[in-house]
Amino acid sequence: MSQQTTNTASPQTNLAMEQPTSWLRRLTKVREFTIGMVIVVLIVLLSLLNENFLNMDNILSTILSIVMMAIVAVGMTVALVSGGFDLSVGSVMSMSGVVAGSLALDGLNVWVAALLGLTAALASGLITGIFIGRIRINPFIMTLGMQGVVQGIAYVVTQGAPLSVAGISPSFLFLGQGSLLGIPVLIWILAVIVAISDYLMRRSVVARKVYYIGSNESAAFLSGIQVGKAKVWIYVFTALLAGLAGILTLSRFSVAAPTAGVGMELQAIAACIIGGASLSGGEGTVLGALLGSVLVGIVNDALVLLNVSVYWQSLVTGFVLIAAVTLDVLTHRDKQVS
């Protein structure tokens, strides 16, 4: 009888042991959780290598350096989920800040100037979206061409030299340099953008259509989704956030530089892919893009703290992007085989 009791209890015991294991296995398959663990490990290692890493000033500086990349990465996530991408975001970011800064220096109200800078960004996104969504030009070719156009506009407006706007309205500079409840306003702005965008990407019907388009564009079209129109608005949204990053950069540094967004497109794409987005489309989350941005930002900060030359940062970013894309390709290849 004791043997029968033992046999009866054994499956229950095994089930109790298997439940935490299966829960942990499911959790480790969540991309955001894995990135979070990598970030924690990286923070611990860097704090051991350099005692100044966990200094409050350095933490704040690192977070602020991530803000612009994260804002751009949110828009890039939507583009990647739809099966495309935008190589012009860095140049749009530069152009937006330059347009706003130059108009403010000419005497225009700085808030109106900022609005016109955002309008210029929206116009570039609208043109890009029309050519990709309606005329069906390849996103790589179109966004690469738009990158040259808007970067050229930034250089023409400034004649290649940064424009100082230190004397403009303090209320505008407060966006990039002020604090609210002891937390920099830039961090509040990023938090709002991420919270709203993540909610919409997870819950809204419109976002679901974006995922459908990225997963299977032909099937999405046959199901009644207006693919061309959706793509237009996707690139408008991407450009809007890039333009906003340019305006905030102007506010933070009080300088309208034509090179403010140079290389931002690569960092944003790397952050998105690290965060779980795929170049194949149909995958990606805003939270993942934020965590990917944090990871890239910490790596950049580590190079500075370890006295690695600033010229190596671009090289490291390139390697991170290649590694992320390679991992994405291998992961999808394994899924197809299985």
Task: Tell me the domain boundaries of the chain.
Answer: 51-262
According to DSSP H, which parts of the chain are helical?
A: 2-28, 31-49, 56-81, 89-105, 110-133, 139-158, 170-177, 185-203, 205-215, 217-222, 227-253, 264-274, 286-305, 312-337
* Backbone phi and psi for residue 163, each to the nearest 5 degrees, phi listed first: -110, 120
* Backbone phi and psi for residue 53, each to the nearest 5 degrees, phi listed first: -65, -40
Residue 330 or residue 105, greater confidence:
105
Q: What is the mean pLDDT of residues 135-154?
A: 93
Which pLDDT value is given to residue 44?
A: 87
DSSP letters for 154-167: HHHHHTTS-EE-TT
Which pLDDT value is given to residue 275?
A: 87
Residue 4 pLDDT class (50, 70, 90 cuts): very low
Cβ–Cβ < 8 Å for 210, 81? yes
d(CA 48, CA 41): 11
Q: Please check the confidence at residue 321 and state whether its pLDDT lies above 70.
A: yes
Average pLDDT, the chain: 84
User: Which pTM value belongs to this model?
Assistant: 0.86
Q: Please check the confidence at residue 15 and state whether its pLDDT lies above 50.
A: no
Q: Please check the confidence at residue 318 and state whether its pLDDT lies above 70.
A: yes
In one-letter notation, the amino acid at residue 175 is: L
Residue 333 pLDDT class (50, 70, 90 cuts): low
Which pLDDT value is given to residue 102?
A: 92
Q: What is the mean pLDDT of residues 215-233?
A: 89
Which pLDDT value is given to residue 50?
A: 77
Q: What is the mean pLDDT of residues 22-26?
A: 53
Q: Please check the confidence at residue 118 and state whether its pLDDT lies above 70.
A: yes
Residue 5 pLDDT class (50, 70, 90 cuts): very low
Which pLDDT value is given to residue 117?
A: 94
Cβ–Cβ < 8 Å for 300, 65? yes
d(CA 200, CA 208): 9
Q: Please check the confidence at residue 25 and state whether its pLDDT lies above 60.
A: no
d(CA 101, CA 336): 50
Which pLDDT value is given to residue 334?
A: 57
Residue 17 pLDDT class (50, 70, 90 cuts): very low
Cβ–Cβ < 8 Å for 232, 130? yes
Residue 113 pLDDT class (50, 70, 90 cuts): very high
Residue 119 pLDDT class (50, 70, 90 cuts): very high
